[in-house]
Every structure is written in C-alpha cells, then in structure tokens.
Structure 1
C-alpha cells in the first residue's frame, strides 16, 4: 500500500524520538520514500545520521541550510509530499501548528504543504490532558489534521498514563489505512461528482438574545457528508445549528449558516454545479414576522409572537432542478409512508428518506437511525437500526446508482 508514497516525517524533541528511527525504517521497508525533518530539540535525542542512513535521503533541520540551490527546501518538500507525518509530536509543536507559527524547518513546511497532515502526539500524561493542549488538538482536528492517538503505559517521566507515542508498527498501519481510503475514494462511484448536503437546524431570531430553533444535532447530515467524500465526491456541507463537530479536511467545504433564508441562499450558490443535493437539515417552517433589533423587555403575563412562513427550500429546489438528483428527508411521528410519498411528490424529489422519530434509536441527537427510502414508485429500501454512518453510506450508494451513466 505504501509503495511509491512520498512521506515527510517530522521528528520533534521528546524522548520518543528514538521510536521515530524505527518508524522511518518500517515506512521505507513498506516501499515509501521518506524525507525526514528534525527540530533542533529532536537532535538532542537522536542524530541526523541515523535518519540519513535509514531513509537513504538528506535530512533537514535548518530552514536556511539550502541543500539544492535550484529549489527552496521547505517549499519543495511541502509540494513533494503525499503525507506529512509528525511523530513524535510534542505539545510545543502541536501548539505552534494550531497557532500557525513557522519558526523552524518543520513548522514552516507544515504551513506550506497542501498534503494531508497526520500527528502522533507524545508527552507527559498531564501535558496531554492540559486544557491548552486539548484545545490545540481540537483546533487541528477542525482544520482536518489526522491524529494517531497515543498509547497508555509507563512514561519516561515515571508517570503511568496516556501520552506514550504509539508503537511504530501501529502508526504504519494507520498510514496504510489512510492511503487505502484515499485510493478507494479515488475509485469511488462518486468520483468527479459534487454533492451538496445541508445539516443541522436553522435559527430564526426573535431579538438579539432569543431565537426559534429545533433539536436537530446535525449528526445525520455530517454522516452523509463523510460518506459522500469516502465515495469520491467533492462535498459542500452547509450547516446550521449543530450539537456535534462537523467533519473537516480535504474533500469537504464547510459553510456555516443561521436562518432558513441563509441556508437557501447558500444552497442556490452551489445548486447549478451540483450532481446530488441532500436536504438533511431541519429547516424552520416559520420565522418571526418582526425581528427586534433590541432585547424585548418583559411586560405583562403574555407575549404574542407573530410568525410568517419561511421559504420551502426543498420545494424550490424541486422546481429548479435540471438533472440534479434531489434527496429529501421526512421526520414523521405517524403514517410514515403516506407522508413521505406525499412530500416526495409535492416537492419533486427523486428520493425521500423517512424515519419515525418516535422510534427508539431513530430520533434527533441519536447515533443510530431507522429509515425507509422511497422513490416515485414507492418503497425502495427499508434499513434496520444501524449507525448513522452506515445509514449514510447506504443512502449514498443508492444515489450513486441513480446518476446518469451509473453501472449496476
């Protein structure tokens, strides 16, 4: 799986740097081309000559030490890489990455590269759990950085806990799995297709401090976006109010919106160039007729709020579609098939994914779902209780089969 893959291995200054030598050796043995960048503190633990011998290539540590006058080294490495792997990654390097700092060869290369970045942390257990480190890692996850979780055990400092660099063979396995997913994605049935997914609930403002919304967590929409990416699509994820972190990284373009009108405008910007549009968001049917520009003060025992109808995004898309495959969602509490088919026909959808939100495991905020998928001829598939990721995969596979020119 790693034959011919180009990997930049970043080694930072911790006692786990000695494991990076084994990691480098194992990557090379699996067929990868490896270029090593060391920080100055890493060289206090292990020498450049070790990595030069193992990688059979120059080792980099000084931004100003240009080994080839025809190129700028950190830009050349950044462009060359299929993957940048930082192992071990200290708390300091993770902090610099999160802040966008570039004061040495490795951090400069990390800012310059457009290749995927994978980080394997290694540090004291208390450092790993420190709020600042946790915040920095969460920030990097949102930027699409991949993490190899550290192991637990006896640390060099004498503590026992989480923070030990994962074993080299396990890191190699993660790298192999990453490239396997990338190759599967490149050959997926949605390769070259653009998929637009809406997720979460909309927020309709009453005044600057109050609003109307719903219980949508965004989990189903986020799972659909990830499934579409895994099948090869370029994904635009338009998310309203959500209770979980959205997927990030290469292949998913995230747009945050608030109101139903905001979501409609965002979808329209991408609609003409899309192949599949999936409306998984829970859009508010109504909004306040008047949005106060100041906080409404309490007065009297009652407050009357006048609501007006929002734009029906799915209905408008059904009228405007010109070759796009349009998939809607129907969250119902009774007469599932009747209401699902009625919605499909009224809104000119190609597929409707319906669920009974009163069923255990199928409501808002759950990690699972139970759905029935309908087209104009009736029931297409009835999916049992399964994770939202599995459900999303089945929906996207079905959608891919219905695109023009699809096989099977």
Structure 2
C-alpha cells in the first residue's frame, strides 16, 4: 500500500523521538520513501547519523542552509511529499503549528504546505490535559490536521495517563489508512463509542453496560473504506481502532466538547451509549454511608445527537443509535424525529438478547423513507454493512442509501 509513497517525517524534541527510528524502518519496509526533518530539540534525543542511516536519506535540520535554500528548499520539501508525519508532535511544536509560526525549518515547512499532515502527539499527561493544548488541538483539527493517539501509558517522568505517543505500527496503520483507496477516501467521519461515566464522587460513578464493541467495529469498517476517522470514546472495554484519531473522554459533557472540537465532518455516527443524566450534587470527596440512604440529585446531560443534527453546517449524514427494551421500532422512530438525525440504528437491548456488551447485534435502520430490519449477526458484520450504506449515502446525497 505504501510502495512509492513519499513521507516527510518531522521528528520533534521529546523522549518519544526514539520511536521515530523504528517508525522509519517500518515505513521503509512497506515501500515508502522517508525524508526526515529533525528539529533542534529532536537532535538532543536521536542523532542525525542514526536517522539518516535508517531513512537512507539526508536529514534536513537548518532553515538557513544556503545550498538547500538556493532553490527554496523548504517549499520543495513541504510540497514534494505525499504525506507529512509529525512524530513526536510535542506540545510546543503543536502550539507553533496552531499559531502559524515559522521560526525553524519544521514549523516553516508545515506552514508552507498544502500536503496532508498527520501528527502523533507525545507529552506529559498534564501538558496534554492543559486548556492551552486542548485549544491548540481544536485549532489544528479545524485546519484539517489528522491525529493518531496519544495512548494512555507510563511516561518517562513517572506519571501515567494520556500523552504517550502511539506505537510505530499504530502510526503506520494511520498512514496506510490515509492512502487506502476506497469509496470514503477523503471523507472525515466522526464516530462516538462506548459508555460515559458520570461521577458520584471521586471514587464512584454511574455508567451502563456498553462495551464500545459496536462503535469500534463501525470505525474500523469506515477506515477500511478509506475514511479519516475521529473516534471519540468513553471508557470502553475494547481497544480503539488502529488508524483513527482517538479522543478519550469520561463524561457526557466531555464527549460534547470533543465532538464540537472534531467538527466539521462529512458524517457523524453516534454509537456511544451516553448517559442521559449526571449527578448534580456529586461529592468533591468520597461520600460516606449514612443511615437512611443517600439522596442524589440528577441534572440532564447535553443532547449531543440533537445538537449536531440541528447545526447550520451539520454533517451531510447524521446517524444516531437507539438502544431500547420495549416497543423498539416505535420508540426509535420517535427518537429520529425528535433528534432531527437522518438515520437511527435501533436495537433491542433487553437482558434476554445479550446484545448490550455482547458480540452480536440485531438492528433496524430507520430513515425518513422507511425502515429495514437486518438479521442478527456479528457486530463486525453490522459495521461493514453500515459502512457501505454510509459510503453510498455520501457518494449520492440526493438519493436515500440502501442498507442491504
């Protein structure tokens, strides 16, 4: 898939830079040509000699190299590649990208390009969670920058949490997804998945039995058809799909913020089992057991599906899910009208079905022009069938998509 593809790899300055060496090897194994750009801080972690030896190419470092700049070298670098990969993308480098800075070779070529850019963030968990970083991420996504990771994990600083750079094979999968030919190539699709956890206090929460398996399968199927996926997931039991831009959240309000940051999109599929309420009087410290029980006050969570469905610049296709235990079709049909979405994927999650948290699903697709019930099948099969229907709908928006 990567045979003959030209990858411009920008190596930022972080301890995760050592992974860039393996990434170069993995990309070249698959036939890609890798041209490395090493930032000044990146060269503190990996040597130009090691990078050059693995890439089989000159390492570019200096914006003011007179030999290269005689022919506007930074312009040629930025536009001769099929894809620019930034790994690791540090908090500082992403901040400079978001601000449109051009004060070194890496930031200049990233500003001077119209080539697609894929970034693999790597930083301390507190830096990743800082409001400034979140603003920069939202800006970059709005500019069309694709993300892969970061993962949760142990950090060199001894902390644990989101901010660990994706593994080289995960980045390779995202690169392959970018180049994958398919009916959804060039389309950006937002997928939500998994449950949300609504805190009662710092140690307890309210949740549901969603495993995230169906949403994850849908994202994988869309990636297989060439789509670029932003995958917003609650605390799911299954790992996220390789090749997606993964955003991990906890609460419904977190999910709303992540969804808003991910827009615009060509389509949005809301497979997450979002809690309808959160605890309004959640304790700042652990609540103690008292005689006579405990009274919790509930407040309504934001309606993410309805909000996106009614945006003036909404995605061309908005798909919701309706997990019901009674009068499935009637309730799901009413939900589609109430929310304003294009399709509702309805399923019966009553305990006897074993669907919630299971490996199979039985769904009915409800659209404006009618409904179609599919036989019970594996969730991966449901996902592939739904992905084909999405591709048909986006390929011919004036006609209702078939779902057979």
Q: TM-score range by the shorter chain?
A: 0.5 to 0.7
Return the offset for 1:297: 1.8
User: CA-to-partner distance for each residue in 1:24-43, whole Å, 9 max, x for gaps?
Assistant: 9x97xx8x76899xx99x9x
Q: Distance in 2 between matches of 1:380 and 1:222?
A: 23
Residues 197, 234 of structure 2: 8 Å contact kept: yes
Distance in 2 separating the partners of 1:264 and 1:213: 17
How does 1:12-161 map onto structure 2 within 5 Å?
A: 70=68, 143-145=165-167, 147=169
Aligned CA distance change for structure 1 residues 321 and 354 (closer, same or farther; 3 Å)? farther
SS state at 1:207 partner:
coil
Hey, what does 1:379 align to over in structure 2?
371
Structure 1 residue 395: deviation in Å?
1.5
For the residues of structure 1 that align with 2:320 and 2:256, how far apart are their CA atoms? Answer: 14
Corresponding residue to 1:293 among 280, 284, 289: 284
Which residue of the partner structure matches residue 355 of structure 2?
Answer: 362
CA contact (8 A) 2:208 2:273 kept: yes
CA distance in 1, matches of 2:354, 2:77: 48
Taking a change above 3 Å as real, the CA distance of residues 183 and 257 of structure 1, as seen in their structure-2 partners, is closer
- Give 1:226's aligned residue: 220
Contact kept? 2:174, 2:242, Cα under 8 Å: no
State how far apart, in whole Å, the 2-side matches of 1:141 and 1:288 are: 29
CA 1:348–1:306 in 2, change beyond 3 Å: closer, same or farther?
same
Given the superposition, is the C-alpha separation of residues 60 and 347 from structure 1 closer, same or farther in structure 2, using an over 3 Å criterion? closer
- Note the residue ranges of structure 2 that are not aligned, 5 or more in a row: 9-24, 37-46, 70-75, 91-108, 111-116, 121-152, 155-160
Match of 1:172 in 2: none
Q: Is the 8 Å Cα contact of residues 196 and 278 (structure 1) preserved in structure 2?
A: yes
Cα pair distance change 1:144/1:80, threshold 3 Å: farther
Tell me the distance in 1 between the aligned counterparts of 2:375 and 2:297.
40
Is there any run of 5+ residues in structure 1 with no aligned partner, and where? 9-19, 43-47, 85-96, 100-111, 118-130, 133-138, 149-174
2:184 is aligned to 189
CA contact (8 A) 2:183 2:391 kept: no
Q: Is the 8 A contact 2:203 2:286 kept in 1?
A: yes
Q: Say what the alpha-carbon RMSD is for the aligned residues.
A: 5.4
**Separation of aligned partners in 2, 1:141 and 1:248:** 17
- Using the size of structure 1 for normalisation, the TM-score is 0.57
State the alpha-carbon separation in 1 of the partners of residues 260 and 174 from structure 2: 34
Change (3 A) 1:294 1:320: same
> How far does residue 282 in structure 1 lie from its aligned partner after superposition?
1.0
Q: Structure 2: how far apart are the matches of 1:292 and 1:402? A: 46
Does 2:262 match 1:267?
no
Q: Is the Cα contact below 8 Å between 1:78 and 1:115 reproduced in 2? A: no
Taking structure 2 as the reference length, the TM-score comes to 0.58
Alignment partners' CA distance in 1, 2:33 and 2:276:
55
Matched, 1:280 2:271: yes
Residue-by-residue CA offset, 1:201-255 (whole Å, 9 max, x unaligned): 1222222222211122222222223333333333222222222222354x52x32
Quick check: 1:286–1:307 contact (8 Å CA) kept in 2?
Answer: yes
SS of residue in 2 equivalent to 1:287:
strand
Go from structure 1 to structure 2 and tell me whether the alpha carbon gap of 1:83 and 1:196 turns closer, same or farther (over 3 Å shift).
Answer: closer
1:375 deviates by 0.9
Contact (CA 8 Å) 1:191, 1:231: kept in 2 or not?
no
> Which structure has the bigger radius of gyration?
1
Whether the 8 Å contact between 2:196 and 2:235 is mirrored in structure 1 is: yes
| Shift in alpha-carbon separation, 1:395–1:383, aligned structure 2, 3 A | farther
Superposed displacement of residue 316, structure 1: 3.3
Give the match for residue 98 of structure 2. none
Secondary structure of 1:236 counterpart: strand
Contact kept? 2:347, 2:363, Cα under 8 Å: yes
**Which of 229, 235, 239 matches 1:241?**
235
For the residues of structure 1 that align with 2:271 and 2:214, how far apart are their CA atoms? Answer: 7
CA 1:183–1:407 in structure 2 vs 1: closer, same or farther (change >3 Å)?
farther
> How far is 1:191 from its partner?
2.1
2:393 to 390, 393, 402: 402
Matched, 1:347 2:339: yes
